[in-house]
Amino acid sequence: MLKSDNVSCITACPVNVFRWFDTPGNPVSEKKADPFNEQACIFCMACVNVCPVAAIDVKPP
């Protein structure tokens, strides 16, 4: 399970790229962070730095 139910990247992002995504029945987590607003990303890397499982890969344009 991801640290604090993925709250790390959601709160770290200054431009609200992430939101909660329900994954009922998932053996790891019932909720995950969904990068629904990727176009708003400012490539600050805050989400990458706090992700406890290194699941976020940000590639600047």
How do residues 8-19 score in pLDDT, each as one tens digit? 899 999 999 999
* Spatial separation of the C-alpha atoms in residues 1 and 47, rounded to whole Å: 17
Number of domains in the chain: 1
pTM to 2 decimals? 0.75
Q: Which amino acid is at 36?
A: F
Q: What is the pLDDT of residue 7?
A: 63
Q: Which domain holds residue 36?
A: 3-50
Asked if residue 59 is part of any domain, the answer here is no
Asked if residue 58 is part of any domain, the answer here is no
**pLDDT tens readout for residues 2-59:** 344 446 899 999 999 999 999 999 888 888 889 999 999 999 999 999 988 888 999 9
Residue with tokens 């990247």: 9
Per DSSP (E only), the strands in the chain are 19-22, 31-34
